[in-house]
Chain A
């Protein structure tokens, strides 16, 4: 079975910081990867699909990159609304354990 890992598990940052989250797949998944943001009590919202395509309506400060087994989600300048938990997912399959972005 495939597996996804994420690092870090928790990230403490300030508004305006550049933030990078890494996701690693246990097998080559090409670019079949999505990133989700979830806030407490809310359903997850997709940010990036096919590893690097920004979902409509998502601010341009979010970007995704990578292929094969290593992927990154970058927030170029962290905003107050971005404090949340982020998950990567191989399409229609396993999720990473999540990265909680908290205020430093």
Chain B
């Protein structure tokens, strides 16, 4: 069974940093594009970033480019999202996704 489980969310002050992790299992992780998706409270779904299976292509939403870094470790079946210079409007539930399969999400709250 395909499973994705996020971790690393929490409360952080504006300007701070946080690193999300996603543990993948049940499929050949190294063969799939992976992405991060978020949803702010009361808002729609927003794609954040995605990464090619071998990590050689990476794309970001304009709203996070230059502040967030997506990466992966295929040996550990893991996906990461390093979030720097966090803003209040980055507050959201962050989901790790492989195509249409999503993890349960990890809440990131940016507040002073």
Number of A-B contacts (CB under 8 A): 44
The CA-CA distance from A1 to B97 in the complex, in Å, is 20
Q: At the interface, yes or no: A16 with Cβ under 8 Å from chain B?
A: no
Q: At the interface, yes or no: B35 with Cβ under 8 Å from chain A?
A: yes
Task: Give the Cβ gap from B59 to chain A, nearest Cβ, in Å.
Answer: 8
Q: Interface size for chain A: under 10, 10 to 19, 20 to 34, or 35 or more residues?
A: 10 to 19
Name which residue of chain A comes closest to B101, CB basis: A46
Determine if A87 and B44 form an interchain contact, defined as CB atoms under 8 angstroms apart. Answer: yes
One digit per residue, 1 when the CB lies within 8 angstroms of any chain A CB and 0 when it does not, for chain B 32-58 equals 011101000000111100100000000
Q: At the interface, yes or no: B1 with Cβ under 8 Å from chain A?
A: no
For residue A87, which residues in chain B have a CB less than 8 angstroms away from its CB? 44-45
Report if A95-B100 is in contact (Cβ < 8 Å); known contacts: A1-B62, A43-B105. no
Name which residue of chain B comes closest to A40, CB basis: B42
Contact among A44, A55, A92 with B45 in the assembled complex (CB-CB below 8 Å): A44
Report if A92-B50 is in contact (Cβ < 8 Å); known contacts: A44-B45, A87-B44. yes
Determine if B104 and A43 form an interchain contact, defined as CB atoms under 8 angstroms apart. Answer: yes
Interface residues of B (CB under 8 A from A): 33-35, 37, 44-47, 50, 59, 61-62, 95, 97, 99-100, 102, 104-105
Interface residues of A (CB under 8 A from B): 1, 34, 36, 38, 43-44, 46, 49, 55, 85, 87, 89, 91-95, 97-98
